[in-house]
Structure 1
């Protein structure tokens, strides 16, 4: 009896020990001490929730696949930076929005991104209040002042990842809205890109002065092929007066979503092409974006050579255009079947207005590249994040990927 009981006990212990690693598996090592995020609605996670702005996503169906409900992310679930933070070992919880963070969060990481924000201060004013890049940098400066001396030391901040993704709204909600902004009258595309990059450079230098050394700089995607642009081009082919945007009144303030492009005359751009998803892309916008991205890559190369007078800093350029094209070319392998239409929204391609409150989205989000008129689904974000973090191709991340940046 004793031998049987002893054997049974040993068997139970063996099973328990075998199961223990699965129950208490160690979390992946955190690769850097902190992460700070600057950008627009592609990576905003709630900073716009409590300000007077149309650029908000704190209502369903936004966040429908996010545990706990809609937190303010402009997608159905996680964003690119959520996934990058997870890959870097920041889990749980995710990097919090600055507007909702506690002082105890500051040393670990903060997200300063703001929907509708741009590099230029006036960008996005057509959508109401927001925090442009310069204001996001000032928010970081304030956070550094509130951190303890050890948490804000140059040595510690120099090992953190600083993700910055700006520029989309400087085109969508500025340059290509000639009925609202005058930049297209003042600059040709090359001069406008140069102006943006000059201001961008100043803000990056300010972050460097505050201790940043490891920068991941995201380029602007081919926004001429997003559902919003596909919808507008389709409408313009049928109605020459449809290029003035959608006007909405919020608390007595008149705001406009979108506007004319390609000269502002409401016609289909002469320079238009078929997208991989079957729609017609606005190549006037894509050509302007190409000039900006080329300049941004050149800026990264110059900074890495020491041309920006930021010794010890490393800059990585994330080529979202090439990654996006690769995603579309291999869409079937990733499970995508809908490439040119939002999972929710209003009008052609679900692209004329973003998701309405309590609107029912598509049932299978994993098959859609786009969540709404402007933003990718969580499924698409996962591919962008994986390539930025792991890719060995400089077509995705130049000169190194984010995992290599973290290891420096």
Structure 2
């Protein structure tokens, strides 16, 4: 009678120490500032940070939390709707093996790109290759904790989210001072970028990633920074065409990888059309402004980031963009819901998701 009970006890213990192996899914997120949840906060020399008011004003206690937004990221919202825990930033000093197995890890870094050479002037940021290297270190920690076989099952059962590429254009190729800008043609750079991404996804697969979600780019030429730098104030056509070329090439590449990498399920998420329509027809979606940031210094443009001296718009839910680069919480919710619809996401387990919307703080006086 004791032997079966001991087996049941062993199964219960393994279910606690290796939750991911027993069916609970966690995420490992690789990305840039659109997905960063605090990694850059801990980079002492890094210039790309969301550590000043009014970032985070509509999230939790209203204080800056490392998200380049007033509220949630698209990854936050998609994960919430899938019933997945929100992965903590890799750089969180309290991160340990138990937290990793329970929640996964977010490696995303503001300014990070697919290419190592992207956004070097931010001094400190994690490129995709660097994020993968950090993931490899994370794997070693888990192997030491639960053993190689259990760790292998844990990582093969996890979800991998990859969302990078815009910095490679905006903070590299489209800057005349950067080498890549005069080394490649537009199509040549897209080919170089997508081939590098393919190599990185193949590397992730070799490390155990079996289910990957890879996201395309939005209309980069329509972010407020690109508009204000243009002579007309309109969207920059060349920049948008580069995003479309990247998306088309990435979609094809992912289709090819899905058939060649063993046991791989790779989904491609493209919200370009809905974001483009949102920007061109904001009232259709309940917005009133889609060409300037909610948080700015008024006529002093571009201010680049939101700072304590910035003035906030009267109604943050009416603005598509929070600062010169990044969408607002309201826009992120719309984008996330469209991706959820197009990719057929559903709740992956019965665990309770975090709150689906942040508490909204009143605008500061002044």
TM-score, normalisation: structure 2: 0.82
| Cα shift readout 1:159-192 (whole Å, capped 9, x = no counterpart) | 322110111000000001112x111211101111
Match of 1:98 among 83, 90, 97: 90
CA distance in 2, matches of 1:211, 1:195: 25
1:2-401 aligned at under 5 Å gives the runs 32-51=24-43, 52-68=45-61, 69-91=63-85, 94-100=86-92, 101-103=94-96, 104-107=98-101, 108-147=103-142, 148-149=146-147, 153-179=151-177, 181-234=178-231, 279-306=233-260, 310-328=261-279, 331-346=282-297, 351-391=302-342, 400-401=343-344
Residue number in structure 1 paired with 2:14: none
Deviation at 1:284, TM superposition (A): 1.4
- C-alpha contact (below 8 Å) 2:115/2:127 kept by paired residues: yes
- C-alpha contact (below 8 Å) 2:52/2:306 kept by paired residues: no
| Cα shift readout 1:46-67 (whole Å, capped 9, x = no counterpart) | 1011221221001210001111
CA distance in 1, matches of 2:300, 2:128: 30
Residue number in structure 2 paired with 1:273: none
Q: Does 1:403 align with 2:346?
A: yes
Deviation at 1:158, TM superposition (A): 2.4
- C-alpha contact (below 8 Å) 2:298/2:311 kept by paired residues: no
* Structure 2 residue matching 1:324: 3-state secondary structure: helix
Q: Which has the larger radius of gyration?
A: 1
**Larger % of helix: which?**
2
Higher RCO (CA-CA < 8 Å; seq separation 6+):
2
* Structure 1 residue matching 2:29: 3-state secondary structure: strand
CA distance in 1, matches of 2:299, 2:211: 41
TM-score, normalisation: structure 1: 0.74
- With over 3 angstroms needed to count, the CA separation of the structure-2 counterparts of 1:62 and 1:404, relative to structure 1, is closer
- C-alpha contact (below 8 Å) 1:346/1:353 kept by paired residues: no
Deviation at 1:206, TM superposition (A): 1.6
